[in-house]
Amino acid sequence: MFEFNSETGEYNKTAAFDDSYILISGTDLEMNAAILGGIMGDKQKALDVWMIRMGGEEAAHSLQDYADFADC
């Protein structure tokens, strides 16, 4: 799914990435929403906010044309 680019030091996505899926953990979503819900005082609103946050972050990753595995 990735190919190393020696000029940039990054890993460029290949065509194989087009057949991948984005998975979001329901457990992580619920846990983070529970924490945020305690702060906000509204669990459903916190769940909505956290779904938007996680979905937005993963959508951004899906649009990147490279990845940096150095920090993994």
Of residues 70 and 53, more confidently modeled:
53
Query: Strand pairing of 66-67 and 2-5?
Result: unpaired
Q: Where are the domains of the chain?
A: 43-71
Which residues of the chain form beta strands (DSSP E)? 2-5, 10-13, 66-67
The C-alpha angle with vertex 55 and arms to 63 and 50, in degrees rounded to 5, equals 150
Type of residue at 26: G
What global pTM score does this model have? 0.61
Whole-angstrom Cα distance, residue 17 to residue 62? 9
Q: Summarize the confidence of residues 7-22 as an average pLDDT.
A: 85
Instruction: State how far Cα 3 lies from the chain centre.
Output: 20
Of residues 67 and 53, more confidently modeled:
53
